[in-house]
Structure formats: structure tokens, C-alpha cells
Amino acid sequence: MPVIKPTCVRDLKLRVNLADVVARMVTLRKAGGARLKGLCPFHNEKTPSFNVDPDKGYYHCFGCGKSGDIISFVRETEQLNFSEAVEALGKRFGIPIEYEEGSGGPSTADRTLRQEVFDLHDAAAEHYFQAFKANDATGEAMRHLWTEQRRFTAELADEFKIGAADATGSGLGAAMMRRKFSEEALRRCGLFFVYDDAAISLQSLRPRFRGRLMIPIRDHQGRVCAFTARQTDLTPADDPAKDAKYVNSPETPIFTKGNLLFNLDRARTAVGEGKPFVMVEGQLDALRCWSVGLKTAIAPQGTSITEGQLVLMRRYHTQVECFFDSDAAGQKAALRFLPMALKAGLEIRFLTLAGDSKVDPDLLFLERGLAAYEEVRKSSLSAIQFASRAFLPSPQKATSEQQSRAAQSVVEIIVSSESEMTRANLIAEAARHLSLQPKIVQKEFDGLIARLGRQAAARPASPPPEGVAPALPHTAHTPERDLLLLCLHFEDIGKPLSHSLPHDWIDLSHPAGALLNRFLGEFEHGLWPGKGHLENLLETDAERTMVASLLFATPGFKDPLKVAQEGLRQLRARALEPRLRQIELALANPHAEIESDPISLLKERSELHRLLRQPITLAASV
Ligand code: ZN
């Protein structure tokens, strides 16, 4: 395994601004001083508690307790190991990564499978793209489909690297074999059918996509991680999915359908105040939006939208306009989407055309361009207006039975919201749209809550709801934690403290104690590496989290010496007082079984009294 030089890691942390790393995933706003704030990428929240201090190079979430530096951020958000995270950062910010001599550099064999599968997809996208542009029968047919049938431009194809898989698909296997990807990567990339026991060869790599138009799917960072393949006239008769209009990549080490939104990598930079996301049904709809200048369009991957996708989206913006086909399938998709979106804390509106006309977003934008967007926005519906209309199309003519059924269906959606205020507003709104008294809708709602409560009570205890952080042991105030905070913010005090604090006073059963003990050992031997370079001293995630959160904390005191003395006093008392009480008890009770004679107990007691009364001084300050 190649080992990255520690000096190189240090250099990386000095040169790369944490805010630049985090901003790829989290929209940050100023939060006083140099600090920045945003919605936490590690837990579901509606008000930002994720804090970034670019000066110190640390982030901390006050909601879920996650903390760390640039490297841990990349590790956790991109599921990379330490070396991969460092390499990824180096690549992104143009900082060369150096390796310890003799440990070798990254070679094909050392790249992890995930990275290799990403590289493979990059190469495959290029391969398909070249096939799309080629002056042969396949290229011509695909370009014809793109420009004549779908009426997209050649520039759009270039921009999104639209590709083509020819009817045999055999070229891809050969191209990937030439690139020397590992057998494991070829087997698991999802672009081939491979029998598990077959040795990989050009013959055993049977392409999954043949005779199809290839749309590369990128993750939120813009890396190609899958493909959607559209059926064409070239799709061969023996394609196992011949009749499927669209075929997607299967799940692979880099692709989970439910965690991906098409075009999010581009749309996330276009959203902002007054520019919400526009959710459309399919990838080609999103491409249509893009082509007319509506850059905020995204599409779920596959037919159904998942909570994972909504959480991902909400990192960037909380407002979404849904623009689904007005056919039955589109309406059903919208109603399935609504409760999830409310639960995720998104503000949703539904784009529609005035009147009752059927809308196909693709066709509408194709014919009318961006002007159509303004028009459908004008007649857009709120979430509850949309739901009320779906459940009760004409409230004026409805029977009270129909009204009541509609109210039941609508409150079942409202209950998904976790905000009391939102619920109250939505109930009032529902009453208006259903032509009912608010108190009637409220009663339906209360009834539902009671039913849900009874069901919940009948179930075994469930874990705390998402977003509610459990009590975190590392935030508990112990003398060890205070002294640790001190060592990290006033490094000069580390050495004197190490000479004044006996090791056996420290409680090693918690990360704070274990760390304090380890840090003081370093100070004592003059080996303290400095608070910016603690990687080698941290052994567990709990320790890393603890240190990052302490580095992030602002010490609320002026006189570090006083705090050190108080910490020492508390530890001393905690270490010695129980023994003193034990002795007192033994001496007071003549029948007690005593482990040693009264004389030595008396001696020990006076020694303990002496120690406990001794003024606390830090060794070096004496
Ligand atoms: Zn958090």
C-alpha cells in the first residue's frame, strides 16, 4: 500500500480552504466572524446547524455532533478511505500528492474498486460519445433520432456527452480491455453481463446496452456513475429488455438509484432565491428544460422518487416546483411525492397550465421555450391546492360524503409534515380548497393523529426520529474534557500539565480521558505534533469527532492557568476522595472488616488530607 507523506497531508490542509471543499455539497452563508453555516449534509434538518470555520479548518454540526476537517469531510461524504480522500483533494485543488519512498505510488492494482468503476464509466461515456459522433450507420441513425425525432441540438449532445451503443455493442468490451481495468471492475461496473464463474475475456463480456441511445448519468459531483439507455430502431431483437423504452444501469459500487437525481450536478449551482428546483419526470424532460435555458431542472432516476433524493436536493435548496405530465401516471407520481416532500421540509408547488389542458412538459418547452415556464408558474398550485383538487375536483358539487373522504386523504398528506406551524397552515388551506369549515378538517386531522398514536403505542419502541441527536457522551463535561480543550487551544500549557497530572488520575474509559492521557504523553516527551497534525494520534472515529468538536469550540475562559488548576483539583478530588471516605468509614466502624491495621489507615488518611489540601501548581510555573 502506498503511504502518503505526512508533510504532504499537512501541506494539503494548509493550502485547501475547508469552505471550498464543503461548498461543493452545502450552501454556506456567513455566520459571524469567519464562520459559515449551512444545512448539515450528515443529518436531516430544516435550520442550519452545520458550522464551518475555514480559519481553523474544522467543521462541526451542533445538531448531530459530526465534526472534522477537509479529509474527514471528503471521506464521509464521498465514502472514500483516507488515502483516496487525500488523493481526491490533491487532484481537485492541483496539489501533487507525494508518497513515502519504497511504498510505491497509486497503481491500477491499488486503486479501490469504486475509483476504478468511476474511471471505467468515464472511459465508457467517452466511448459511447465517439460512437454517437462517428460517421457510420450507427452514428448517423442516433444523430438522426436526436435531432429529427427528439428535436434536440447537436450542441446539447456535446454538452451532456450523449452517446450511442451500436447493435452489437462489442466495441465497448475491447476498449475497456485495452484500458486494463481489473477483472473485478469489469465484472461489477454494470455495463456487461458476466457469468460469475466465467473468466473475463472479450467473449465473456457481453454488453448490457446494444442499439440504444446512451444518456450518461452523473452524480451530484458531476462524475458519470451510470447510464440510461433509450430504445431505438437499432435495438436488437435478442435484447433481454427489448420492449423496455428505457433501460438503466443496475446498482453498482458507485450507483444507487434512490440516491441520485439527474442533472443535480448542474442544477444545484443554478438554484437560489426565486429560482427553485424544477422536478420533471424524465431525463429527456430535464434536458429539454436545460436546452431552453431553464437550468434548474432535475429528474428522479427511474420512476419513483425516494426520500434519499429529497434529502440530497434539500442540501442545496428547499423550494421545488413539480412539473409532471398531466396524465394519470404523472398525477399519481405527484401524489406519491407530496408526503415525502413535506416530510423532508421542502416547499412544493405544482406547475400547471391554466384551464384543463393536458400538459407534456417536453412538448410545451419545445414549442414555446422559456416563456412557457413563466406561464405555468403563474397558474401554479400549492401542495395542498393540488392535493385537494386531485381528491375533490369540484368541491361545489360534491356530496358531504365525498368532501369528508377528500378531507381524510388530504390530512393523511398533511401529517407527513413535522412542523406544527406548517400543519396548522396546511389544514386551514385544505379547508378553503375543499369548501369545508376549518374545524372539520382539524377534526379529521386530530382523529388521524389519535389513530396513528394508537398504532404507534401497539408497536415496540422505535428509535428516536431522524434529526434528533442522541445524548452525546463527548459533550458531557468532565475535567478530562476541559483539560483536553485547554491543551488544544493553549498548547503551551500541555507540557507543564503533563508534569503535574499523575496518569492514574485520568479516567481512561472515555475518549476524552484516553486522548488526554495520550496527548500528555506526547507533551511530556516533547513530541507534540501541533494541533493541526493530530491524525497519527487519533485512533477511533469517536476520538476524531471529539477532537474536531473541541477544536471547533470557543473556549469561554480568559485565564487558561486557572482552568488547568481547577481541572487538576477536580481530578485529584475524584481520585483521592473515595479512598478517604472508605478509610473514614472503616475507622468509624470498629466491627468492619479492615484490610489493614488502624495505624496505617490513620497514616494514609493524614497523607490523603495533606494531598487534598496541597495548593495546585503547574510544574513548570513553580
Ligand atoms: Zn448534522
CATH number of residue 280's parent domain:
3.40.1360.10
Distance CA 366, CA 357 (A): 17
Question: CA quadruple 339, 317, 328, 239: dihedral positive or negative?
Answer: negative
C-beta separation of 187 from 197 below 8 A: no
State mean pLDDT over 404-410: 92
Q: Of 255, 284, 313, which residue constitutes the final position of a domain? A: 255
253 CA to centre of ligand 1 in angstroms: 25
pLDDT grade for 110, boundaries at 50, 70 and 90: very low
- Centre of ligand 1 from the C-alpha of residue 598, in Å: 57
Highest averaged pLDDT of the listed ranges 313-322, 468-477, 552-561:
313-322
Are 40 and 60 in contact by the 8 Å Cβ rule? The answer is no
How many whole angstroms separate alpha carbon 441 and alpha carbon 432? 10
The answer to whether residue 457 is domain-embedded is yes
Whether residue 241 is predicted with pLDDT greater than 60 in this model: the reply is yes
Same domain as 90, residue 120 = no
Cell 432535475 -> residue: 298
| Ligand 1: centre distance to CA 218 (Å) | 25
Q: What is the pLDDT of residues 5-46, one digit of tens each?
A: 888 888 888 888 899 999 888 888 888 778 899 998 888 888
Ligand 1 centroid, distance to 498 Cα (angstroms): 34
pLDDT tens-place string over residues 410-459: 999 999 888 888 899 999 999 999 999 999 999 999 998 888 877 766 65
Q: Within this chain, do residues 164 and 277 fall inside the same structural domain, yes or no?
A: no
Domain range for 341: 258-379
Q: How far is the CA of 79 from the centre of ligand 1 (A)?
A: 17
Same domain? 542 vs 491: yes
Lowest mean pLDDT among 75-79, 206-210, 408-412: 75-79
CA dist list (Å): 316 to 24, 38, 225, 312, 433: 10, 9, 21, 8, 31
Give the mean pLDDT of the chain: 84
What is the Å distance from ligand 1's center to 512 Cα?
Answer: 21
User: Of all residues in the chain, what percent are helix, strand and coil, respectively (each to 5)?
Assistant: 50, 10, 40
Give 301 Cα–ligand 1 centroid separation in angstroms: 26
Q: Is residue 430 part of a domain?
A: yes
Q: How far apart are CA 163 and CA 133, in angstroms?
A: 8
Q: Residue 139 maps to which CATH number? A: 3.90.980.10
Question: Ligand 1 centroid vs 466 CA: distance in angstroms?
Answer: 11
Angle (CA) 141 142 145, round 5°: 90
Q: What is the pTM of this model?
A: 0.60
Cα(51) to ligand 1 centroid in Å equals 9
Which is nearest to 85 in space by CA: 187, 180, 183, 8? 8
| Residue scoring higher pLDDT (535 or 426) | 426
The residue out of 196, 221, 255 marking a domain boundary is 255
Ligand 1 centre distance from Cα of residue 40 (Å) = 4
Any idea which of 318-327, 387-396, 413-422, 522-531 has the lowest mean pLDDT? Answer: 522-531
Q: How far does the centroid of ligand 1 lie from the alpha carbon of residue 69, in Å?
A: 14
How far does the centroid of ligand 1 lie from the alpha carbon of residue 554, in Å? 19
In this predicted structure, the answer to whether residue 607 has a pLDDT above a threshold of 90 is no
Distance 66 CA to ligand 1 centre (A): 6
Question: How many helices (H) and strands (E) in the chain?
Answer: 25, 17
> Ligand 1 center to residue 349 CA distance, Å?
27
Higher pLDDT, 111 or 505: 505
CA of 122 to the centre of ligand 1 (A): 32
Integer Cα distance of 113 and 592 in angstroms: 67
How far does the centroid of ligand 1 lie from the alpha carbon of residue 37, in Å? Answer: 11
Model pLDDT for residues 553-595, shown as the tens digit of each residue = 777 777 888 888 888 988 998 888 888 888 887 777 766 666 6
Q: How many domains does the chain have?
A: 5
Higher-confidence residue of 60 and 533: namely: 60
Selection from 144-153, 169-178, 389-398, 533-542 with the highest mean pLDDT: 144-153
From ligand 1's centre to the CA of 469, what distance in Å?
Answer: 8
**473, part of any domain:** no
Specify whether 51 is located in the same domain as 169.
no
Q: Is 335 helix (H, G, I), strand (E, B) or coil?
A: helix
Please determine, for residue 357, whether its predicted confidence score (pLDDT) is greater than 70.
no
**CA 345 to ligand 1 centroid distance, Å:** 15
Cα dist from 26 to 15, 44, 51, 254, 260, whole Å:
20, 13, 11, 21, 16
Residue 263 pLDDT > 90, yes or no? yes
Q: What are the strands, taking DSSP E only, across 179-317?
A: 192-193, 206-207, 212-218, 224-231, 246-248, 261-262, 277-280, 297-300
Q: How far is the CA of 50 from the centre of ligand 1 (A)?
A: 6
Judge residue 596's burial from the number of C-beta atoms within 10 Å of its C-beta, 0-12 exposed, 13-18 middle, 19 or more buried.
exposed
| Residue 166, helix vs strand vs coil | coil
Distance 27 CA to ligand 1 centre (A): 14
Q: Give the Å distance between the CA of 248 and the centre of ligand 1.
A: 33
Residue 516 and residue 490 share a domain: yes
Look at residue 465 in the predicted model and tell me its pLDDT. Answer: 40
For residue 26, give the CATH number of its domain: 3.90.580.10
Q: State the distance from the centre of ligand 1 to the C-alpha of 61, rounded, in angstroms.
A: 5
State whether residue 381 is helix, strand or coil.
Answer: strand
How far away, in angstroms, is 334 Cα from ligand 1 center?
29
